[in-house]
Amino acid sequence: MADRVIYATYDDDHTCLESAKKLVADGVHITDVFSPFPIHGIDPVIGVKQTRLGIVAMMFAVTGLMLAVIGFRYIMIQDWPMNIGGKPNFTLLQNFPAFVPISFEFTVLFAAHGMALTYFLRNKTLPGMPADNPYARNTDDRFTMEIRLSDNHGMSSDELQAKIKQTAIVEIEEKDYVQIK
Amino acid sequence: MEYQISSKAKRTIIATAAVGLVLFIIGIATNMDSEQFKTRLFSNFLIDGFFFFAMALGALFFLALQYATETGWSVAIKRIVEAVASYVQVGIVVLLAVFAVISIMQGGYTEVHGHHVGHIYQWMDPVIASDHSSAQFDSMIANKAPFLTQTFFWIVTIIYMATYFLFYKGFRKRSLQEDIEGGTAIHMKNFAKGALFLVLFGYFSSTSSWHWLMSVDPHWFSTLFGWYTFGGMWCTSMTAIMLLLIYLKKNGYLEKVNDSHIHDVGKWIFATSFLWSYLFFSQFMLYWYADIPEEVIYYTFRIDNYPVIFWGMFMINFIIPMLILMSREAKRNPGILMAVCVIIILGHWADVYMLVTPGTMGEHGTIGFLEVGLFMVFAGIFAYFVLNTLTKAPLMPKNHPYLDESKHHEI
């Protein structure tokens, strides 16, 4: 049986947050919320885990730093030592102050680009990827909750709809769940 | 008002200051006969006088920054920042007294058996600065005359101190007035005054550090020096604010201050540590790269004679905040924060020590009873004065326009 999904739409971020709190307290599992901007404090309510992007950033940063060290050690010390202002050019450690800026640049470059790309990939929002918000107005002034029936086994569609209708919705729609990507 | 200094806190502060005083006297008694004694004593008053004054001044700057940027989250900790800043009143008096004594001593240039053993401001000595016939005449110092003279030093020092004092008094007065009157008129006035203070402070923090600290090495100069001392001062004031916050939270005050506020102050400590490290390295690398003898002597002298303190304080002030405070959880953990803050404060004290002592005492500087003792005495006075200011007003502002935002601060 195809999964069914209920889209409940609100016209205010605060109402959406309060309704989410109420529904979750009622035992409803909210799969996702689509909104034009981040709604503060909704993550813990609908059970979104703390992001691990920071760990990814650290991993990219260390990669960048290591690449920089390997690079300037080979280029500037091992392969072709260059005399720049009479600085010690046969030892990495003594010449290290000269390489601190480039180490820093590489670390930041890798961390920043790595984080941005990971973020786009993980959210499937790279340029050209299809949008997965159910309504076009989710990018403007509508806040939509996605509630899947398969996530709420204890409740029938009617029960769910009745509970949702007690909150200050502006629209409600039930349809077959279509995996966009 | 709602906060009272507990008897335990009072006992701890008095005990710290008393132990410090005993150590200080032991330090004096055991070093009285050494050739460097006078220089060492006044160097220490300059180091501690400046270090704690700067801690308060950094808080005053932070307060002005919050006003000028109309920041919302920090309203709940405003009284803590004000309390730390309130020490500027004592710091100004102490520092002016130290400068006055050094001025009366004409810079404290000391010679024993015809050779130079130490000085504080050697350019204050009329023989060195203006007596062309003397063997001690120093043309490099004489050429810096319009800037490095007692008259100019005192004129600008009094302007700096008066500005800091008046702005502190003004911010504090309006903050308390706002509790009673409300409205946005006071807020807008604070906004304008905060912006004005930032402009003045931008110049004064640089030029004052040249006069007060950099001139102990009168032959050497660095245009980055002011920012460098400013980076250190900002970092120490953020740690002082954090320590006070954690202490008050632990004792059940400030129920509206939540993890997010602590987290934000933690971020400031992390960021300002980086600012300081960045400026340290910027200054170091330019001199290291150019390798011009009269410039690089500043660093070679420190690296040769104080390798442990010089590199140690850089590692402490850079590596420890970077590695420990990087994660989100650490910035929300009072135990970790407290440990890091204490380490950073000691590290930045060592930084100010490195700014002054090699210049004044040459290679003879040591850290002994005298240094530790005087630091403890100053720390006691600082802590008592700051806590005393906290008792004078409610810990939570009442009518600040962004108070509600701050109470619901969540990140």
Q: What SS3 class is residue A173?
A: strand
Predicted confidence at residue B233, as pLDDT, reads: 95
Give me the mean pLDDT over the B238-256 stretch: 93
Predicted confidence at residue B237, as pLDDT, reads: 96
ipTM comes to 0.78
Give the tens place of pLDDT for each residue, B295-323: 999 999 999 999 999 999 999 999 999 99
Give the tens place of pLDDT for each residue, B31-57: 888 888 999 999 999 999 999 999 999
Which residue among B281, B289, B328 sits closest to A85, beta carbon to beta carbon? Answer: B289
Indicate whether A180 pLDDT > 80.
no
Indicate whether B372 pLDDT > 80.
yes
Predicted confidence at residue A1, as pLDDT, reads: 55
DSSP state of B353: H
Closest chain A C-alpha to B327 CA, distance in angstroms: 8
Which residue among A41, A58, A100 sits closest to B410, beta carbon to beta carbon? Answer: A41
Closest chain B C-alpha to A54 CA, distance in angstroms: 8
Does B289 contact A54 at a Cβ distance shorter than 8 Å? no
Q: Is A14 on the interface with B (CB under 8 A)?
A: no
Predicted confidence at residue B242, as pLDDT, reads: 96
By C-alpha distance, the chain A residue nearest B285 is A97
Give the tens place of pLDDT for each residue, B178-207: 999 888 999 999 999 999 999 999 999 999
Q: Where are the domains of chain A?
A: 4-49+140-176, 53-123
Give the tens place of pLDDT for each residue, B378-409: 999 999 999 999 999 999 998 999 999 999 88
Lowest mean pLDDT among A153-157, B102-106, B296-300: A153-157
Predicted confidence at residue B43, as pLDDT, reads: 94
Q: Is A44 on the interface with B (CB under 8 A)?
A: no
Which architecture does CATH list for A4-49+140-176? 2-Layer Sandwich (3.30)
Does A98 contact B284 at a Cβ distance shorter than 8 Å? no
Give me the mean pLDDT over the B135-141 stretch: 87
Give me the mean pLDDT over the A102-108 stretch: 95
Answer whether B234's CB lies under 8 Å from B275's CB.
yes
Torsion, CA B227, CA B274, CA B368, CA B33, rounded to 10 = -20
- Identify which of A7, A50, A11 has the alpha carbon closest to the alpha carbon of residue A32: A7
Predicted confidence at residue B88, as pLDDT, reads: 96
- Which of the four pLDDT bands, split at 50, 70 and 90, describes residue A181? low
CA gap B188, B404 in Å, rounded? 17
